[in-house]
Amino acid sequence: RYGERLPALGKLLGLPTSHALFPIQCLLTIYHPEITVSFLEDLVIWDGPKRISFYRTNKGYMLVGFKDRRKSKHSEQKILLCPRAAALVRMVEEITEPLREYLRKNNDPNWQKLFLTSGSSFSYPIPASMNLLTKDRINSVPSLRKMMVEALQPFTEKHGEELLDFIKKLSLSRVRAQSAVADYIQNHSLTRLARKLGHAFY
């Protein structure tokens, strides 16, 4: 029974559990569709005492990462964040700081990552996976399915199978694509669309 209560206790304490940071990852992707799954998974913010990939410039906050699909010469991406996106990155740093401090004390290099998770509740901190909400996992893990339905139900008119079908389609890749297409519909610019998706060339 004690073990069954741990996830609820983790939620009550606001721990960055496996899926807790997914909404923030979605929002970052909506604000900046050039951010990909691999960009977020590989994002290293710290190098020793220095913050190397998230820093302030005279134009605003810059987020620096890498996009694997671009050739090595163009793989580095520097993204000038909008104020809301910058605030989200600072929020994630604050939320994950206890995990980061624990990893740092244990000489675990993963402390340098931005997205860290404590698993279902109080597990050893690890870098967060960006692909936990797959259709197969939603179908095969009842607790995950129940959690997602309860989380989304207050914010949608969808119910039953319609809501489940929507949840099964949720992914950062789909959010990224929808955000870019919505921008294209509004602005009708292929050049802007390429830039929004972080392509090195049109």
Residue 86 in 3-state DSSP?
helix
pTM of the model: 0.82
* Full pLDDT tens readout for the chain, 202 residues: 545 566 666 677 778 888 889 899 999 999 999 888 888 888 898 887 888 899 999 999 999 987 655 455 556 889 999 999 999 999 999 999 999 999 999 999 999 999 999 987 788 999 988 777 788 888 888 888 888 898 899 999 999 999 999 988 888 888 888 888 888 888 888 877 777 776 666 6
For residue 99, give the nearest of 89, 108, 88, 86 by alpha carbon.
Answer: 108
Residue 100 CB coordination number (10 Å) = 21
Q: Is the dihedral of CA 166, 171, 174, 176 positive or negative?
A: positive
d(CA 137, CA 23): 18
Please tell me the chain's helix, strand, coil percentages from 3-state DSSP, rounded to the nearest 5.
Answer: 55, 15, 35
